[in-house]
Amino acid sequence: MRYIFLFSFLLIAFLGQAQNEEQDVKQYKKRVLETVEIDFLSSFYSQDGDNAAVTGGVGTEELTDINPTLVVSIPLNDDDVLTIDASVSAYTSASSSNIDPFDGNGPADPFVESSGASSGDVWTSGTFTYSHSSDDRNAIWNAKLSVAIEYDYFSVGFGGGYTKLFNEKNTEVSVNANVFLDTWNAIYPFELRPFGLNGDGINNSLFTENTITGNTNYNPIFTEFENETRNTYALGFGFSQILSKRLQGSLAIDLVRQEGLLSTPFHRVNFADVADSFIENFQLGDAVERLPDSRFKIAVGGRLNYYINEHVVLRSFYRYYTDDWGINSHTASIEIPIKISSKFTLYPSYRYYTQTAADYFAPSEENLSTQEFFTSDFDLSDFNANQYGFGITYTDIFTRLKIWKLGLKSIDLRVSKYDRNTGLSSFLISSGFKYIFN
């Protein structure tokens, strides 16, 4: 994978250099981006379910997230564009709060939110993308740098891509490569921390000041992770073709290799062959999730867009995914943009997803302590899901509505409802406002 990844970077660099050596086109060329464009994006996400991985696969999954994003695209000259993407995600999570359920405000319970410090957090990210287009606009290369930070997590990423158009722009091929270098500040379930390095074990005040019921000889299987880094290498290939006046198709292949800490340190696991121990109504964790330190993923997908008439377009998508953890999945979706006037378009959509379980997944109380790897995270379980969506877009190419020097070009509003057969359900509402700087 590393050699393929290195080859792709060299290919991007070579093609980009070859493009720089093209003979100048003396005739007039249209700017890639005429003026500064600013996108104000925001979303509100809410979910609930009863299979929280934080509490061993049993417990509330209630979570809300607010995510404002600002995207600014700046034309540097006729050929070059700099895009800055700044995002903040602020969430509150009942399940994450139960990393430490013993807050003293009531009996600890996996279905009740704790007031612990982990009940909410803020994730912040920034991405800078530079793109260059050839004089004939038949070649584009880009480079990007990204940074993301959270209380227990830091990530830096970099990458690049190259796109080439042929056949009077009816055919497009592309390649892209990205690297993400992540570092965890591992946070463990509260009752397991005394059994870590230099901990006082069962003599900790949590156990001496509270009564353990069930198995009173609580002795979890716990060692702290030595490696708290994770590296991700992603490589993608794309092909798009206009097949007729009404039909366009595209194919994409994505390869991803991950190495390092792929377990989530605060996900509990409770074993079938270990007697249960409780404090109040909360089952103490027997261990934390343990997963392999490498993962290889492959995804192959295709799109077909069919222009029915000037008012209706049919957009379809299918993707097959597989990895070496045993997960195989299928995704199919359809969206039907309906243009109801020169300015308004409706977007009804439907998406179906199904996957097999990872080799290391089992529900609470079904893993065995003798296993090398184990998890009760239902994101790695066998499930299927349905998502229904609807959106509406307002477009004004003349940007008649202005705020200071910003002309409103479009407004996009979307809502979606997601349901898994495991009981998880979620709701998402998002909005986007695009302005042109005059």
In whole angstroms, give the CA distance from residue 262 to residue 325: 12
Residue 15, pLDDT > 50, answer: no
Q: Which two tokens stand for residue 49?
A: 């379910």
pLDDT for 192-204, tens place per residue? 999 999 999 999 9
Q: Which pLDDT score is estimated for 105?
A: 76
Domain ranges in the chain? 28-133+395-437
The predicted structure's pLDDT at residue 132: 98
d(CA 16, CA 175): 12
CB 255 within 8 A of CB 219: no
Among 29-38, 142-151, 157-166, 262-271, whose mean pLDDT is lowest?
A: 29-38
Estimate to the nearest angstrom the gap between the alpha carbon of 53 and the chain centroid.
18
* Overall average pLDDT of the 105-124 stretch: 79
**Quick one: DSSP state of residue 22?**
S
Buried b (16+ CB within 10 A) or exposed e, 86-103: ebebebebbbbbbbbbbb
SS3 content of the chain, % helix, strand, coil (to 5): 10, 50, 40
CA distance 90 to 123: 6
Query: Is the confidence at residue 6, as pLDDT, over 60?
Result: no
pLDDT of residue 22: 45
Q: Rounded to an integer, what distance in angstroms lies between the CA atom of residue 330 and that of residue 321? A: 6
Q: So what's the pLDDT on residue 204? A: 96
Comparing 79-83, 167-171, 257-261, the range with the smallest average pLDDT is: 167-171
Q: Is the model more confident about 104 or about 177?
A: 177
Q: Encode pLDDT of 47-60 as tens digits.
A: 999 999 999 999 99
Across residues 382-393, what is the average pLDDT? 98
Question: What is the Cα–Cα distance from 86 to 101, expressed in whole angstroms?
Answer: 33
Residue whose C-alpha is closest to residue 258's, from 281, 279, 233: 233
Cα of first residue to Cα of last residue in the chain, in angstroms, is 46
Mean pLDDT of 328-332: 99
pLDDT at 106: 78
Poorest-confidence range of 97-111, 234-248, 353-367?
97-111
**Sorting pLDDT into bands at 50, 70 and 90, what band is 25?**
very low
Residue 109: Cβ within 10 Å count:
17
The mean pLDDT of 383-389, rounded to a whole number, is 99
27 band by pLDDT with thresholds 50, 70 and 90: low
Query: Around Cβ 403, how many Cβ atoms within 10 Å?
Result: 9
pLDDT on residue 23? 44
Q: What is the DSSP letter of 293?
A: S
pLDDT band at residue 111, thresholds of 50, 70 and 90? confident
The per-residue pLDDT for 119 is 66
Which two three-digit tokens encode residue 71? 């995207």
Q: Which two tokens stand for residue 167?
A: 């056949």
Give the angle 407-67-238 at the CA atoms, nearest 5°: 80
Among candidate residues 40, 135, 36, 22, the one with its CA nearest the CA of residue 76: 36
Structure tokens at 102: 């013993």
Q: What is the DSSP letter of 312?
A: B
Report pLDDT for 258.
Answer: 99
What does each C-alpha distance from 174 to 49, 253, 366, 389 come to in angstroms?
40, 11, 45, 29
Neighbours of 16 (CB within 10 A): 19
- Residue 201 phi/psi, 5-degree rounding, is 60, -135
Please give the angle made by the CA atoms of 181, 262 and 158, to the nearest 5 degrees: 20
